[in-house]
A and B are shown apart, each in its own frame.
Chain A
Amino acid sequence: MQAAQLAVRIAELIIFGALALIAVKRWRQHHDTAALWWAATVGILASVVAASFLISTTSESNAASWERKVLLALLLLFPYCLFRYGGQFVHQYVSLRRVAQFLTGGVVVWTFFLPRLGGSDAPRTTAIKFYLVGILVQWTLLSCIATYRLWRIGAKQASVARSRMRTMAVGTALLNIALLFAAFVPGDTKSGWPVVTGLMAIVCALCFFVGFVPPRVLRVVWRSPDAIRLRQAEISLMAVIQPEQIGAALVPHVAALFGGQGGVLVAPDGTVLAAAGLDPTEAKAAAVLATRATAENPVVQEGLIAVCLRNGWLAVRGSQLSPFFGRDEVDLLVGLGVFADLALERARLFQAERVAREEAERANDELETFVYSVSHDLKSPLVSLLGFLDYLKADVDESLSDEGRFFLDRISAASLYMQALIQDLLELSRIGRVQTESTDVDLAEVVHEVVAEQEAVHPNAALHIGALPVVTMNGLRARQLFTNLVANAIVHSGRDDVIVKVDAAVSPTGDVVVSVADNGKGVPADYREKIFGVFERLERQDSNSPNKGTGIGLAVCRKILEQYGGEITVADNGPGARFDMRFPAVAVRRGPAQLEAAK
């Protein structure tokens, strides 16, 4: 039994000694009051355990009695130091502190006024029994308050800090129970009780140890509930695109995960993107410190860990409850930083894309406005030209030679052609510039009107109309579309007896393709894309026949369809060309098949 007791005491000495060394080191590093009280607390325990080896437990000499008294008085300071340590994190009631000081002072003085303190085997006199009750009251009261405080302050903290504080609270409670045992059960060397109390003291010391410097594994375990929360924050990050929103979603969770006071996300220009748990001044100070971190060297100083991201910095400020422990915290923050970086990178790309898109849109708008005003300004001199030409003809026509009249006609034709060009340019710019009202347009009606007009001008052409859909678009634009295509088919077919068919088909996606097909010359494969450009014509320009078109008609058609989310392409039609216009399903009110069925 004695060997077991010795083993337990040696274990106690090692563990409390280590605890005291770490506490003193921590205090020397941080110089804060909490660390000082903690160092005092474990320092006392270690000293008492060490001294118990030197002091005889059985000697009845006067010197031995005084040694015991000093040791006991030292031990009585332990609950007071613990009480003060716990008091660093909560509101300190002065009156409560006075009571603690009075109680501790009282029992310490009492110790030295005891008649004589015998060894562990000495019989307990009535005075000793009273004294034991006194120190039990002091010890229990202060320990209970300390336990309660440690437990309570832990409750408000993130996982790591909470678990640390609670482990320490459990240790304090255990130590108290161990003392009760030591005071009230027989202390003889033959019974097993000293071993039991000694083991309890070791467990309590382990609790302090784990609570004060938790091993890495335990920190990871303690952190896991917050890690889940962080995972959720990461998921919510997917939905945000503003750097500020990213910070707001991430920083509070990061700070909680570290059990720190707060955290900041710093923009590349050093401004605070988001802060949690820090007031603006603190956040700014943390940001200044954080910007010192580089990709290779994270900042770990003044209770702050900061890592450098590609798009700024991420920093966490520790609290007294949760100072930083080691390299794994830095690694964890680096890992989180990678995530923040991804989100920030995404935000940056999104922003850049939006700026580029807006710029392109603005450039396009500007171009259209430019085209409009240029065409508009070109119109003015043309009015003069045509007006004076007209008067010139009226005044001098009869006195002109045939050649002179021919010249005048050429001027006239060229001017009219230019007028048509300008008119078409204006129209093209208007399609993009002016919002037109959309209604349900029955394409069959539109095409019938267009066909009737064309038949009057080209009596030899044969025009066929199939089942056509009803689409949501502007009626005038629909007319423009089919007038251009049907007129093109006739004029550019190269034959008088051209056959033009207008028909529609529904694609599997619900889109409707309306085609205008002819049996004319067709469009050579090389030109099938080119002809949709502005001023692109297949035939050589001939100002004598402006009715052959200005080369803008197909560009207008393409622009109209694009306005409604559709497209136009040209294909070979055996002999001839087929223009396919795809109307997207959303624009189709009634498909051609439905139309047929309705009939």
Chain B
Amino acid sequence: MTRSVRVLVAEDNEDHLFLTTRALEQTNHGLKLEVQGVRDGEEALDYFYRRGKYEDATRPHLLLLDLKMPKVDGLEVLDRIKSDPDLRSIPVVVLTSSDRPEDVEETYRRGGNSYVTKPITPNGMREGLRDITDYWMHVAALPEPPA
């Protein structure tokens, strides 16, 4: 039976969410990849704390997090997750179009697990996401998400 891995993508740009989800689904790793998208930081937190429409949400194995988001921005979401003993074990990959050294620094300072600048071309995007899933699902060991 193929292992099922849940990935949450927090991304405010609808197009990017679509492209990221599509690219993730196309990475064929012999895994059952469940990709769920949220559109801003607040929704991401609702998802993690099972509030509102995410009452029945199952916590993900991995979070792909954009930094520039309305309502609650990515760094704030990262802060909340990493300061919560329940959620802290979920790896967070920051996936953003920014390549500012300050953002990189801040991500790791707040406990982010990796920082990836969004590749601009479709090929780059696909390869990048394949590398990310490759690493987190094959090279590294993912913890079981908290219940």
Contacts and interface: CB of A to CB of B under 8 A. Distances in A.
Given A376-B98, A391-B22, A434-B101, A384 B121 contact: no
B110 interface: no
Given A376-B97, A380-B97, A386 B122 contact: yes
Contacts of B98: 376
Contacts of A383: 15-16, 19, 97, 118, 120, 125
Contacts of A390: 122-123
B13 interface: yes
Interface residues on A, range: 10 to 19
Contact of B19 (A376, A379, A388, A434): A388
Contacts of A387: 15-16, 19, 122, 125
A419 B13 CA distance: 18
A388 B125 CA distance: 12
B103 to A, nearest CB: 11
Interface in B33-88: none
A419 B123 CA distance: 14
A381 B22 CA distance: 17
A196 interface: no
B22 A419 contact: no
Interface in B100-131: 101, 118, 120-123, 125
Nearest to B126: A390
A408 interface: no
Given A376-B97, A376-B98, A434-B101, A382 B120 contact: yes
Given A387-B125, A391-B22, A434-B101, A379 B120 contact: yes
A30 B13 CA distance: 86
Contacts of A36: none
| Chain A contact residues, majority secondary structure | helix
A389 interface: yes
B97 A386 contact: no
Contacts of A389: 122
B121 A419 contact: yes
A384 B16 contact: yes
A348 to B, nearest CB: 38
Contacts of B118: 383
Given A376-B97, A379-B97, A384 B122 contact: no
A380 B122 contact: no
Interface in B1-49: 13, 15-16, 19, 22
Nearest to B12: A380
A381 to B, nearest CB: 8
Contacts of B121: 386, 416, 419
Contacts of A381: 15
Interface in A388-425: 388-391, 416, 419, 423
Nearest to B102: A434
Interface string A428-440: 0000001000000
B127 to A, nearest CB: 12
A389 B19 CA distance: 11
Contact of B15 (A384, A416, A419): A384
B120 A386 contact: yes
A500 B56 CA distance: 67
A379 B15 CA distance: 13
Contacts of B16: 380, 383-384, 387
Contacts of A423: 120
A380 B16 CA distance: 8
A421 to B, nearest CB: 12
A434 B103 CA distance: 13
A381 B19 CA distance: 12
Contacts of B97: 376, 379-380, 383
A212 B101 CA distance: 78
Contacts of A384: 13, 15-16, 19
B50 to A, nearest CB: 30
Contacts of B122: 386-387, 389-391
Which residue, A380, A388, A389, has most C-beta atoms of chain B within 10 A?
A380
Most buried by A among B15, B122, B125: B122
Nearest to A390: B122
Interface in A207-247: none
A582 B140 CA distance: 50
Contacts of B101: 434
A482 B116 CA distance: 28
A98 B69 CA distance: 93
A120 to B, nearest CB: 106
Contacts of B125: 383, 387
Given A380-B97, A383-B120, 4 more contacts: A383-B19, A383-B118, A384-B15, A387-B122
Interface of A: 376, 379-384, 386-391, 416, 419, 423, 434
8 contacts: A380-B13, A380-B16, A382-B120, A383-B120, A384-B13, A387-B15, A387-B125, A423-B120
Top 3 closest pairs, chain A to chain B, by CB: A384-B15, A390-B122, A387-B19
